[in-house]
């Protein structure tokens, strides 16, 4: 990634997760409606994590969105989990969002028995067309999707297989998705940072004390693969929705 003009993400802070989710959903809905009005379709990239729950719940209730015209992708999926495992990100998205908007088209990422081939297929499926919106979170180590530090800001692939670092795996335990670290898969397929940034609007829902340092680093550290979230500052249309627990200035 060639770093040109640096952009400051627009940051909004709310009293709690519910208010954060309502505000982020309203912003996302506005951009979905605009995309549908302009091109009759909208392409949306989704993160699957507890940080996204309130935003997606509110988005599913937004009015005047023709969900039959919305095409959804997701950022990552574990390698080696059973297809029906509740921790699977595609299953999480169904429970928390997609089952509430069944008219939307969803393209699930399925690593299957050959994760490398699956990552290539998903890259082809996404193509080069920009996403209209990307709904993202930040890992406690600042990762975007499962691009752990040091992240590749110039990756030529759209999706790839990655080994998960221990911090990312422990986060899954701390958030209640797994009982113990040794239950968390060691690898995943993830959409790369350049492909995530190939979007018109990036909308981050980042609540909670555990994300406070990641937010601070994303906003203040030099743009560097050691702090994956700093890649957001290379994009002109990024908005971060925080709560008072995650905002370092509170």
* pLDDT tens readout for residues 21-62: 999 999 999 999 999 999 999 999 999 999 999 999 999 999
| Residue 77 clears pLDDT 90, i.e. is over it | yes
Judge whether 4 lies within some domain: no
How high is the pLDDT of residue 4?
Answer: 66
Q: 59 vs 24, 33, 101, CA distance in Å?
A: 8, 12, 10
Judge whether 2 lies within some domain: no
Mean pLDDT of the residues in the chain: 96
How high is the pLDDT of residue 5?
Answer: 84
pTM of this structure: 0.96
Average pLDDT over residues 127-152: 97
Judge whether 3 lies within some domain: no
Number of domains forming the structure of the chain: 1
Judge whether 38 lies within some domain: yes
The candidate with the shortest Cα–Cα distance to 227, out of 235, 212, 215, is 215
Domain extent for 181:
10-237
Q: 136 vs 29, 38, 81, 179, CA distance in Å?
A: 15, 24, 23, 25
How high is the pLDDT of residue 200?
Answer: 98
Judge whether 245 lies within some domain: no
| Residue 3 clears pLDDT 70, i.e. is over it | no
| Residue 121 clears pLDDT 60, i.e. is over it | yes
The residue behind tokens 């690898």 is: 187
The residue behind tokens 């994303």 is: 218
Q: Quick one: tokens of 124?
A: 């082809």
What sign does the CA torsion over 25, 19, 10, 45 have?
A: negative
Judge whether 228 lies within some domain: yes
The CATH code of the domain that includes 209 is 3.40.50.1360
* pLDDT tens readout for residues 216-241: 999 999 999 999 999 999 999 999 99
Judge whether 246 lies within some domain: no
Separation between Cα atoms, residue 19 and residue 36, nearest integer Å: 26
């Amino acid at each position: 990634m060639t770093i040109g003009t640096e952009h400051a993400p627009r940051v909004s802070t709310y009293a709690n997760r519910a208010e954060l989710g309502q505000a982020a959903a309203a912003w996302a809905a506005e951009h979905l409606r605009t995309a549908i009005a302009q091109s009759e379709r909208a392409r949306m990239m989704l993160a699957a994590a507890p940080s996204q729950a309130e935003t997606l719940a509110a988005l599913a209730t937004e009015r005047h969105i023709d969900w039959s015209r919305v095409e959804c992708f997701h950022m990552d999926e574990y390698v080696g989990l059973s297809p029906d495992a509740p921790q699977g990100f595609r299953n999480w998205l169904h429970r928390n969002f997609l089952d509430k908007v069944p008219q939307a088209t969803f393209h699930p990422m399925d690593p299957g028995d050959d994760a490398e081939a699956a990552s290539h297929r998903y890259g082809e499926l996404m193509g080069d067309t920009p996403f209209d919106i990307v709904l993202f979170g930040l890992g406690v180590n600042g990762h975007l999707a499962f691009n752990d530090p040091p992240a590749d800001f110039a990756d030529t692939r759209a999706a790839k297989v990655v080994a998960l670092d221990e911090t990312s795996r422990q986060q899954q335990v701390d958030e209640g998705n797994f009982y113990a670290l040794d239950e968390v898969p060691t690898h995943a397929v993830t959409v790369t940072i350049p492909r995530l940034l190939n979007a018109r609007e990036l909308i981050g829902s980042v609540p909670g004390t555990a994300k406070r340092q990641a937010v601070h680093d994303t906003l203040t550290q030099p743009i560097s693969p050691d702090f994956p979230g700093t890649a957001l500052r290379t994009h002109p249309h990024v908005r971060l929705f925080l709560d008072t627990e995650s905002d370092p200035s509170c």
